[in-house]
Amino acid sequence: MSDFICTVCNLRGKHHIFNVNHDHRPRQSVEELRRLSEAYRNAQTLSERKKILQTHGVRWSSFWLLEYWDPTQMLVINAMHCILEGVVHYHCCHTVSKDLKIPEQQVVSVVKVQKALSLAISGDKALTLEQLWTRLDNQGTLGSLQFVAHTLGLPMTLDSLSSKVSMIHVQRACRASKKPGLVRAPTGLPTTKSHYIALLVDWRLLQPHSSTAFIIPTGTPEPLSHIQQVIRYATTASWLNSVPKNYGEANAGSIKADKWRILSTVYLPIALITLWGDDDGRAPPSDSFLMKALDHTMALFQATIIACKYTMTSSRPMEATIVRTLVRTLSDAEDIIDLDDIIAHAARYDYSHNRSVMLNLSRQ
């Protein structure tokens, strides 16, 4: 059942969760859903029903007795759990917040990793790849290496490593292993320090080998402080509930749905627009990293406002269409076919099926 990530479209598999290309999100056929549901109802054995459920993600419901029943259009989104404590919570904690702060104990290590990757690997006084690997191994922690790799947008797979980097990995692994004959080239997803070092060294080979002006575009803790200042000093209506002034810190406690609604519709838009969308009084280039992240974040927040409305009016389907158009416009760009391209540092292992709800809000 975990492969069925959306009740509206036919996409299957967790690897599609970040896909925002709507042209490749085929809508489910209501007729086919009805046929499978009736097959589930008419199945003679429990194993037949289990097979239908596991293969198609469908079971019988009495709603199918209604001729007009269309689950792709008529299901009501659970705004509290799916949107506020699901999509919004994930986006703010695992995408935006990863931009905003680095765990305090990792800051020094991240800086050292950045400096190591900025050193020359050719020319006078340059590091060899073996020396660069050793420095990253000595100065970086698993968390800091992961942070830099995700922030640089590196593909989280070892299958495309260059032969030179793979060879270094194998040689070092052989020296550390009691059974060097069993050591093989790394493949699959990165899980260890050496895996992330391999990804970073492979990336470094593609950059200028001796540029003294090379700077790695990773996040800083400054935006978190800006958000906290907005929360602390913004003047709001008296009927608006308060939110933690130490937002983003461990002692802020668990933020519930009502707080996420206020944060995502009041404080965070103000903070992120003034921080990421203001370059000395002018908007930054539309193709800049932060503007892409800001546009996606604001699309989510606008969709959240629509999904949390108590009533439906004739204008709201149009509002939802506008939001979907924005997301689609972003996804149609040549360099944005996956949400990972914008927020690559979001934890790939922390998937939430609720995330696909945002992309289909305007289809409801």
Q: Are both 186 and 332 inside the same structural domain? A: no
Q: Which of 149, 176, 205 is the last residue of a domain?
A: 205
Q: Are both 254 and 127 inside the same structural domain? A: no
Q: Are both 111 and 89 inside the same structural domain? A: no
C-beta atoms surrounding 218 within 10 Å: 18
- 63 CB-near residues (< 8 Å, 6+ apart): 69, 71
Which residues form the domain of 62? 14-74
Q: Are both 134 and 26 inside the same structural domain? A: no
Q: Are both 126 and 114 inside the same structural domain? A: yes
Q: Is the full-model pTM beyond 0.75?
A: no
Q: Are both 94 and 227 inside the same structural domain? A: yes
Q: Are both 150 and 180 inside the same structural domain? A: yes
Task: Evaluate whether residue 215 is within a structural domain.
Answer: no
Q: Which of 176, 205, 234 is the last residue of a domain?
A: 205
In sign, the C-alpha dihedral spanning 224, 229, 232, 235 is negative
Q: Are both 48 and 123 inside the same structural domain? A: no
Q: How many domains does the chain have?
A: 3
Chunk the chain into consecutive blocks of 10 residues (it has 364) and report each block's average pLDDT, rounded to whole numbers. 73 68 76 93 93 90 92 80 81 62 63 84 83 91 85 83 90 86 86 92 86 45 80 90 84 86 90 82 75 81 80 65 56 41 41 43 43
Cβ–Cβ < 8 Å for 285, 313? no
**How many Cα neighbours within 13 Å face the side chain of 260?**
24
Task: Evaluate whether residue 213 is within a structural domain.
Answer: no
Cβ–Cβ < 8 Å for 157, 189? yes
Provide the pLDDT for residue 291. 79
Provide the pLDDT for residue 20. 60
Q: Which of 173, 205, 237 is the last residue of a domain?
A: 205
Tens of pLDDT, residue by residue over 117-132, are: 888 888 777 888 999 9
In angstroms, what CA-CA distances link 281 with 83, 272, 276, 299? Answer: 33, 14, 11, 22
Q: Are both 96 and 109 inside the same structural domain? A: no
Provide the pLDDT for residue 134. 92
Q: Are both 86 and 155 inside the same structural domain? A: no
What's the rounded Cα separation, in Å, for the pair 186 and 198?
9
What's the rounded Cα separation, in Å, for the pair 2 and 206?
37
